[in-house]
Chains A and B, each alone.
Chain A
Amino acid sequence: MLAFTLRRAMQAVGVMIAVGIISFSMFRFAGDPVNQMVAIDTSAAQRAEIRKSLGLDDPVVVQFARYFGNAMQFKFGVSYQFRQPVADLLKERMPATLELAICATILAIVFGILMGVYSALRRDTFVTKILQAISLIGISLPTFLIGILLIYLFAVVLGWLPSFGRGDVVQIGWWKTGLLTASGLKALIMPSITLGLFQMTLIMRLVRAEMLEVLRTDYIRFARARGLTTSAIHFGHALKNTLVPVITVTGLQFGSVIAFAIITESVFQWPGMGLLFVQAVQNVDIPIMAAYLLMVSLIFVTINLVVDILYTVVDPRLRATISRPA
């Protein structure tokens, strides 16, 4: 078990180093950092001086070591567009993205499980057919189309919800939250639905498939024979056993939620990290792109690591296969 954890942690470090190399090469070789920083009439001598002060004349290995060392302390350089340290920009934008991602995930879990259980228990009803049609649409429609549709319906036609931004925010320490004001909560509704819809359909399909499988097993039949109530069987026994894969998938998907927030944030002009990244891609702002890649990779790798280790803790059957030599 300890050996597995260590090996898995080593792999995670390896991935981060690989991502670091990619991120550094983007930073160093894609476009000339000096050209991005100076005006057109800057003389060659001044350019050389800037080049030297940035350390761009040092050997590549030294530069990489410095980049990595700085990245460890969350120093990612200065953005070409904003002329501000990238770390400050990311720190300012992160709460918005995290609040959106967490709300979307909660929404997806609650409705996904409810819809999945319902469609597994009442298989051939009209409502189930509608739910399945919704899940097909959720998987097929591109995220930005869903967002545009919601904006048209609830902001343009009905005028109930704001179409862009976060509403009023409250400052708690360095964390700006929109969860404490009415306009902030209102602004959160449509982006959360847009971002969570794909996850919701995924969870619904998973819960439905797992439920159908579990309901066929012997211990459920035995529970029926013991005369337990239907609700005790369905929720106490069947649903509980479907939750392990649901938790795993949701955990692993949280990274994707943050990545897909790029699209949702662009549709709703939500001032998060994703919007920052898209603007960076449009304006070829390499420091932001490189830093975003590093940050998101760190989140991904950490989540994967934690889920993998938790999984073996939760499910004893897996421990047996891991300790056996492959």
Chain B
Amino acid sequence: MSDAIVPHKADVTHQSDAGTRRARLQYGRWLGRAFESDLFYSFRRSRVTMIAAAVTALFFLVAIFAPFIAVQNPFDPAQLELMNSRIAPLWTADGQAPFLLGTDEQGRDVFSAILYGLRISLAVGVLGVLFSGTLGIALGLIAGYVGGAVDGLIMRIADVQLTFPAILIALLIDGVVKSLFGNRLDAASTLGVLVFAIGLSFWVQYARTVRGSVMIEKNKDYVAAAQLIGLPAPVIMLRHVLPNAMGPILVIATINLALAIITEATLSFLGAGMPDTMPSLGTLIRIGNNYLFSGEWWIVAFPGFVLAALILSINLLGDWLRDALNPKLR
């Protein structure tokens, strides 16, 4: 209160060059707040979490900068040489530079394919989480804020959907959309279909959590005050109620990122996801699985290891976030 009425001495004396200075001050304060927060403290206390965060960050970085790290573009058939097919990893007797992790049947460098595949897996995961999150948060806000029959309808749909495993729903949506387009989809639209199918399979958890928070928050004084000054309902929901429900949403989003990546990999593995011409990690594992018996273990082993490491580190991050944001455990 006093801050608002009596201006700080610092603010009065430095009013002349306020522009840049205030920006820097605020930036510094924001960063400082992040470093002094309980969240960052508990992050620094847990070595496992720091390793998991580092691994996740590394995967995101190599995925973003894949074209600069990879020795070839595995999506471009012109760059593949059939002469180079089925070369073993570099450290074995049959290894050949520059194929660090060996090559597959079509002469595709496994290392490059993993980098580009990681890109697709992460893209589908992140976009899927954004889509399901937006959908779930919107429906949860409406259900909780409006209540009544609308609430009943949305939550009944959520209940029914929750009885079915997400992977089954994603498979069905994927199958139906593909049949509507007659199986003539190019790789980029397949990615869109996957995001759509995954998004529609995972919105329920967000909707339920947001609705619960909204039901609690909407009876508080600050919401009544916002209603009194005549703010429209969407503004109250988005600017005032939603920020108070952000903690659990963040936890769900992190865990769902891992789930979305698993779902995409599973769909691609089952042959209902990304095509062989533009493979994700799941597609690479499906291709490599065919060569398990002929001794070319590296085609499946390395994509599988990367996928497992990625999911494990995201899960560990999610577990930590859930515990750190849970006030009961402090």
Contacting residues, chain B, for A137 (C-beta < 8 A): 312
A278 and B270 within 8 A (CB): yes
A146 to chain B, nearest CB (A): 10
Which residues in A have their C-beta under 8 angstroms from that of B271? 278, 282
The verdict on A98 contacting chain B, using a C-beta distance below 8 Å, is no
A30 and B307 contact, Cβ closer than 8 Å, known pairs A142-B262, A259-B167, A289-B175? no
A15, B163: Cα distance in complex, Å: 10
- Check B266 for interface membership: any CB of A closer than 8 A: yes
- Select B258's contact among A31, A140, A300, beta carbons within 8 Å: A140
Whether B171 is near chain A, meaning CB under 8 Å from some CB there, is yes
B254 to chain A minimum Cβ distance, whole angstroms, is 13
Cβ-based interface call for A136 (8 A): yes
CB pair A156 B293 closer than 8 Å = yes
Interface check A220, CB cutoff 8 A: no
Residues A148 and B272 in contact, CB atoms below 8 Å apart: no
Residues A140 and B308 in contact in the complex (CB < 8 Å), given A31-B180, A259-B165, A289-B175: yes
Shortest CB distance A106–B (Å): 20
Contact between A148 and B300, CB atoms less than 8 A apart: yes
When C-beta atoms are compared, the residue in chain A nearest to B176 turns out to be A30
Are A152 and B311 touching (Cβ within 8 A)? no
Expressed in whole angstroms, the minimum distance between the Cβ of B314 and any Cβ of chain A is: 9
Query: How many Å lie between the Cα of A296 and that of B165 in the bound state?
Result: 11
Check: A78 CB closer than 8 A to any chain B CB.
no
Tell yes or no: A170 within 8 A of B by CB.
Answer: no
CB distance from A137 to the nearest CB of B (A): 8
Q: Which chain A residue lies CB-closest to B311?
A: A140
Q: Does B179 lie within 8 Å of A286, measured CB to CB?
A: yes
Q: How far is the CB of B201 from chain A (nearest CB, A)?
A: 12
Q: How far apart are the CA atoms of A149 and B178 in the complex, in Å?
A: 31
Is the pair A300, B272 in contact by a Cβ cutoff of 8 Å?
no
A139–B285 alpha-carbon span in the complex (Å): 19
Does B68 sit within 8 A of A, measured CB to CB? no
Task: Report yes or no: A31 in contact with B172, Cβ–Cβ below 8 A.
Answer: no
Within the complex, the shortest CB–CB distance from B33 to chain A, in Å, comes to 33
Instruction: A136 to B292: give the CA distance in the assembly, Å.
Output: 26
Asked if residues B312 and A142 are in contact (CB atoms below 8 Å), the reply is no
CA distance A262 to B311 in the complex (A): 21
Knowing A30-B176, A148-B304, A281-B174, the reply to whether A140 touches B312 (Cβ < 8 A) is: yes
B312: contacting residue among A30, A136, A282, A289, CB under 8 A = A136
Could you say which of B175, B258, B270, B308 contacts A145, with CB atoms under 8 Å apart? B308
Contact B165 A256 (CB under 8 A): yes
Q: B289 contacts which chain A residues (CB < 8 A)?
A: 148, 267
Q: How far is the CA of A277 from the CA of B174 in the complex (A)?
A: 13
A289 to B172, CA, bound (A): 8
Task: Decide: A263 and B311 in contact? CB cutoff 8 A.
Answer: no
Query: Which residues of A have CB within 8 Å of B58?
Result: none
What is the CA–CA distance of A289 and B169 in the complex, to the nearest angstrom? 11
Query: In the assembled complex, which residues on chain A have CB atoms less than 8 Å from the CB atom of B183?
Result: 284
Q: Which residues of A contact B167 (CB under 8 A)?
A: 259-260, 262-263
Which residues of the partner chain A approach B285 to less than 8 Å between Cβ atoms?
144-145, 148
Q: Check B172–A293 contact: CB distance below 8 A.
A: yes
Cα–Cα distance between A126 and B267 once the two chains are bound (Å): 37
Q: Is B315 an interface residue (CB 8 A)?
A: yes
Residue of B nearest to A284 (CB): B179
* B297 touches A (CB below 8 Å): yes
Closest to B163 in A: A300
CA distance A301 to B164 in the complex (A): 10
Check B160 for interface membership: any CB of A closer than 8 A. Answer: yes
Complex CA gap A300/B163 in Å reads 7
A318 at interface by CB-CB < 8 Å? no
**Which of B168, B180, B262, B311 has the most CB atoms of chain A within a 10 A radius of its CB?**
B168
How many Å lie between the Cα of A140 and that of B317 in the bound state?
Answer: 12
Q: Is A201 an interface residue (CB 8 A)?
A: no
Q: Counting chain A CB atoms within 10 Å of each CB, which of B167, B171, B266, B270 scores highest?
A: B270
Contacts of B258 on A, CB cut-off 8 Å?
A: 140
A15-B160, A156-B292, A259-B165 known; A142 and B311 CB under 8 Å?
Answer: yes
Within 8 A of B (CB), among A281-314: 281-282, 284, 286, 289, 293, 296-297, 300-301, 304
Chain A to chain B: the 7 pairs with minimum beta-carbon distance, closest first: A281-B175, A284-B179, A30-B179, A31-B179, A259-B168, A140-B312, A259-B165
- What would be 29 A-B contacts, judged by CB atoms less than 8 Å apart? A18-B160, A26-B172, A140-B311, A140-B315, A142-B307, A143-B266, A144-B285, A145-B304, A145-B308, A148-B289, A148-B292, A149-B304, A151-B292, A156-B292, A163-B293, A255-B165, A256-B165, A259-B168, A262-B167, A262-B171, A262-B270, A263-B270, A278-B171, A281-B175, A284-B178, A296-B164, A300-B163, A300-B164, A301-B163
- Interface residues in chain A, defined as those with a beta carbon under 8 Å from any beta carbon in chain B: 15, 18, 26, 30-31, 136-137, 139-145, 148-149, 151-152, 156, 163, 255-256, 259-260, 262-263, 266-267, 277-278, 280-282, 284, 286, 289, 293, 296-297, 300-301, 304
Apart from A136-B312, A281-B172: 5 A-B pairs, beta carbons within 8 A:
A31-B182, A141-B312, A145-B307, A148-B300, A163-B293
Which residues in B have some Cβ–Cβ distance to A below 8 Å? 160, 163-165, 167-168, 171-172, 174-176, 178-180, 182-183, 258, 262, 265-266, 269-272, 285, 289, 292-293, 297, 300, 304, 307-308, 311-312, 315
